[in-house]
A = this chain, B = another copy of it.
Amino acid sequence: MEKVNVRDKFGQFQEFWKPFIVAKVNGHLVKLVKLKGEFIWHNHENEDEMFLVVKGRFRIDFHNKQVWLEEGEFIVVPRGVEHRPVADEEAHVLLFEPTSTLNTGNVHNERTRERLDRI
């Protein structure tokens, strides 16, 4: 039962689009991820996904709109909703999602990360 310093944890990795697990809460994982560039369109059939911006800004594209998220802002993407995160500059994001959530959702390709590390 130790506290976690989010900024310190972000200092422990450099990879983009690879989430790292930092805590577990009731079958959910708290993950940290660095975004830069454009991700793929995907959805998560059974999982709502929360994105909280810790540093920088990024946007999430939906088929009917775009949402820009600034530091200190979050959004919950409901299950089944197709989305694509895009970061023009490096952004640091805290994710909150079920343990079952795969980063690329319904898509399996070279950007899929099946096994995540805990830091």
Contacts and interface: CB of A to CB of B under 8 A. Distances in A.
Which of A5, A24, A74, A81 has most B Cβ within 10 Å? Answer: A74
Interface string A59-87: 00010000111101111111101000000
B4 A23 contact: no
Number of copies: 2
A100 to B, nearest CB: 10
Nearest to A70: B5
Contact of A25 (B2, B48, B62): B48
A112 B95 CA distance: 30
14 contacts: A1-B67, A1-B81, A2-B67, A3-B73, A4-B74, A5-B70, A5-B73, A23-B50, A25-B48, A26-B28, A26-B47, A30-B50, A54-B72, A96-B96
